[in-house]
Amino acid sequence: MATLTIVQAVRDALYTEMKLDERVVLMGEDVGHNGGVFRATEGLHKEFGDDRVMDTPLAESGIIGMAMGMAVNGMRPVPEIQFMDFIYPAFDEIVSEVAKLRFRSGGGFTCPMVIRTPYGGGIRGGHYHSQSAEAYFCHTPGLKVVIPSNPYDAKGLLIASMRDDDPVLFMEPKKLYRSVKGEVPEGEYTVELGRANVVRPGKDVTLLAWGAMVPVCLQAAELSAPRGADCEVIDLRTLVPLDEETIFESVRKTGRVVIVQEAPKTCGFGAELSALIAEEAILSLEAPIVRVAGFDTPFPYSLEHVYMPDAERVALAVGKVKNF
């Protein structure tokens, strides 16, 4: 075991899988000699060389297009989009080509690639370096969406993603990159895609979250406990595929749900969760579903602490569904 940050766990996963599988190649802006803007690939170019760790031009569509070509021809590419905010030039490649390849080829081709991208606020990056755009990609059939919240999951989920035969968008919460540490096993292991994690059992209110909002929900649960609300916190870990059964089992037990997302509220993934719960478990609900989210504005520079949900906002939502 080693105590690692999330960014160190990501690097460990890449190193581990590259050692085991020579088909795994990395590419992206500054991922090679510089080790990436967040140093997630530091030292990997020196270890594996130009053929497997490649610096690219500032051309996101080209990065994804090149990775797709490699994937079709038997490689396991892991392209990095330096910030999620820069992924939009590659949107057409991802949505129209990468995600649809298995379907359009009648199963004749697969596209095993992992698109790594840091996302979200927490570093005062403003509206060009802080977006949480998971909803766009969860709406894309054929694409898996994975978001870790801790170092153990970051390594295990990333290795599982690199071994998957379908394309995966692997979103890394940069607010947690170095602020969270945890025990991570040495060598290879995987965390199953499509399996949520109940990180705090409870009986009164279900808190659903992913990425940087998971520790926020854990803090809110502690704030709510003295007021008589025993909160169950579920880390979804993968949004697509979604572990619906774990969600429904919790909702049927607690009867109350608060969904917490960093992204703007309107049409966010929390709305999809609300609809699923209403369709499948509405008779178990004792109160309306409440969403705590970012605001429907561009991400602000100076008001980041106001825009991002915090434990107090989540605790207020718990009080609303608990009627105190």
84: left (phi over 0), alpha (psi -120 to 50) or beta: alpha
Res 124: pLDDT: 84
How far apart (Å, rounded) are the C-alpha atoms in residues 223 and 314? Answer: 9
Query: Based on the domain organization, do 260 and 173 belong to the same domain?
Result: no
45: annotated active-site residue: no
In contact, 268 and 238? CB cutoff 8 Å: no
Query: Based on the domain organization, do 142 and 14 belong to the same domain?
Result: yes
Question: Count of CB atoms within 10 A of residue 305's CB?
Answer: 11
Res 266: pLDDT: 97
Please report which helix (H) or strand (E) contains residue 27, including its range: strand 24-28
User: How many structural domains does the chain have?
Assistant: 2
* Segments in the chain below pLDDT 70: none
Query: Based on the domain organization, do 232 and 134 belong to the same domain?
Result: no
> Could you say which of 45, 127, 129, 139 is catalytic?
129
Query: Based on the domain organization, do 41 and 148 belong to the same domain?
Result: yes
Query: Based on the domain organization, do 88 and 202 belong to the same domain?
Result: no
DSSP state of 189: -
Query: Based on the domain organization, do 145 and 69 belong to the same domain?
Result: yes
Task: Please indicate, yes or no, if residue 190 is contained in any of the structural domains.
Answer: no
Q: One-letter amino acid identity for 12?
A: D
How far apart (Å, rounded) are the C-alpha atoms in residues 196 and 228? Answer: 26
Last residue of a domain, which of 184, 218, 244? 184
Task: Please indicate, yes or no, if residue 189 is contained in any of the structural domains.
Answer: no
Contact partners, residue 245, CB within 8 Å, separation at least 6: none
Q: 3-class SS at 107?
A: coil
Res 302: pLDDT: 83
Res 220: pLDDT: 98
Task: Please indicate, yes or no, if residue 207 is contained in any of the structural domains.
Answer: yes
Q: Which residue shows structure tokens 């595929």? A: 241
The CATH number of the domain where 264 resides is what? 3.40.50.920
Closest CA to 203 of 242, 229, 177: 229
The CATH number of the domain where 123 resides is what? 3.40.50.970
Res 323: pLDDT: 87
Q: What would the pLDDT profile of 247-292 be if each residue is shown by its tens digit? A: 999 999 999 999 999 999 999 999 999 999 999 999 999 999 999 9
Res 212: pLDDT: 98
Give the domain extent around 273: 197-322
